[in-house]
Structure 1
């Protein structure tokens, strides 16, 4: 199911990439009680504290600990630009395989409109600036501060997510800054302060959810020499299906997010047990769970994956 775009960002890269290996089936060894908790039997083989430290390292801090983590609610549809059609398809197929393993809904329509873009260009920073100048649809949903945060990213990859805020019924909700501005106007006019009317908000459930509407990743062509389609697809999976960043410190566990780290002599070029468990944890939990309570079972999911591989 190839989804390629003809918009002009530069000449297509025709480098030959290695065909991907067949994605491993994930053995479902998860037992859930009526509350949805995960039960793992046997000796612990994963350090939960170290896993939590890595999870915090790669997850940008939300505005408050009460805000939920962003994720896709609609089925994903990846699109690749800047590779030959054959190699682009390999990356797309790999991303679909990964999404299914992680429990992310996929759009199987061959003509679906891409909401995940992986774009290979000569200069990601220059391309991003061009997109900003043209107010292209790929950046139209980013406010000033989010655009600024993209330009501050270092390395050969720029990635961002366009996020919409909704209530539990799926109705759009104003962002905190928009709500504050509206409240100021309402006070000036003597009107009531606007808000999001909910009936089920609690300590374990927020009043909102944060939906990733569009994910984009720009990759510098010169940085992919020696990488195959599986590596590119796996890295793109972690940067686009969740709001993540490369780790900023040394950690006890590996992640494919270090793929372009110049200081890492031999970074993993495949999704690690941690990576897969991170995505599975994100997408199996409630979409309105506060971020302070999210990703608490990544270590258990890693243990399940490790035991399945034994």
Structure 2
């Protein structure tokens, strides 16, 4: 039996127990994973392939740079069998910990909320209809467009996700935009024409797993996939087929063993880059440059020397 929509809505503002036992009998299996050789991206130069990848997959709100979690995440999973929920929470938390984030203790208020269901579109539509401001709060830089939200509801993908973020003053930690009810906008001191005083913090991500469509994918690989889309604002409509990434999990499941070196390098770059360029599109370039340096240094000397620094 599925958790009623109204009960899940209550979880959006409450503190669900991490890995809590729920009533939906999950069909997710846990077969032995197959390990394959590394996949070559393609014939492009490394720096160009990275630039293309970052440009293709990054999907922040309009006129905003990439958002990321600041310090701490708390992962909650509901509507799965107890052992599946706990394994999923543990794997996603492991991905977050490897990105140098703090992990909330059991009982913390979930800001990464993973919902299992047998009807992904139905659950998404019900949640958005009943709590639209949970998905698109009334302040600048919170989330993507109404059209993107409609696609979140309508997609038939096995996993769908929706991020909510807030612009924050990087020096004070206070909100950097006018919130509903504010009389005046916050005072934000400029740092010059090239640097922004604001950072974009993720504050919530909703991830809906259609268990019927995700059947046959073991929990470890599913957790890696969910971890990737939980930590980064990935464009669900991007085509990652040219890259060795876990984002291809549901298109070519037999070739995907979980997070790859490419994925780990992207997350390390996302969480390690300064992201302080005033132009939002230049912040993606900061991620690209950091990812390039990481992968270049990991390559054999002859290959690394063939690629100039971007």
TM-score (norm 2): 0.72
Give 1:131's match in structure 2, choosing from 127, 132, 143.
127
Provide the rounded CA distance (Å) in 2 between the counterparts of 1:146 and 1:4.
31
2:293: which partner in 1?
Answer: 300
Provide the rounded CA distance (Å) in 2 between the counterparts of 1:5 and 1:174.
35
1:8-54: CA deviation from partner (whole Å, max 9, x where unpaired): xx941333632898xxxxxxxxxxxxxxxxxxxxxxx9711112211
1:94: which partner in 2?
Answer: 91
Provide the rounded CA distance (Å) in 1 between the counterparts of 2:274 and 2:218.
35
Spell out the pairing of 1:17-96 with structure 2 (5 A cutoff). Answer: 17-18=29-30, 47-60=46-59, 62-64=61-63, 67-96=64-93
Provide the rounded CA distance (Å) in 1 between the counterparts of 2:176 and 2:143.
19
Gap regions ≥5 residues in structure 2 = 1-16, 34-43, 301-310
Indicate if the aligned counterparts of 1:117 and 1:215 stay in contact, CA closer than 8 A: yes
Gap regions ≥5 residues in structure 1 = 22-44, 187-192
Structure 1 residue 120 and structure 2 residue 116: aligned?
yes
Indicate if the aligned counterparts of 1:103 and 1:284 stay in contact, CA closer than 8 A: no
Q: Report deviation, 1:259.
A: 1.7
Q: Report deviation, 1:106.
A: 2.1
2:9: which partner in 1?
Answer: none
Q: For 2:167, what is the secondary structure of its paired residue?
A: strand
2:261: which partner in 1?
Answer: 273
Q: Report deviation, 1:139.
A: 3.0
TM-score (norm 1): 0.72
Q: Report deviation, 1:127.
A: 0.8
2:276: which partner in 1?
Answer: 288
Provide the rounded CA distance (Å) in 1 between the counterparts of 2:114 and 2:77.
5
Give 1:157's match in structure 2, choosing from 154, 159, 166.
159
Provide the rounded CA distance (Å) in 2 between the counterparts of 1:56 and 1:144.
18
Indicate if the aligned counterparts of 2:26 and 2:211 stay in contact, CA closer than 8 A: no
Provide the rounded CA distance (Å) in 2 between the counterparts of 1:211 and 1:247.
23
Q: Report deviation, 1:301.
A: 2.0
Instruction: Decide whether aligned partners of structure 1 residues 56 and 118 sit closer, same or farther in structure 2, where only a CA change above 3 A counts.
Output: same
Give 2:233's match in structure 1, choosing from 231, 243, 258.
243
Indicate if the aligned counterparts of 1:209 and 1:287 stay in contact, CA closer than 8 A: yes
Provide the rounded CA distance (Å) in 1 between the counterparts of 2:136 and 2:151.
18
Q: For 1:240, what is the secondary structure of its paired residue?
A: helix
1:196-220: CA deviation from partner (whole Å, max 9, x where unpaired): 43143441x2131111100111111
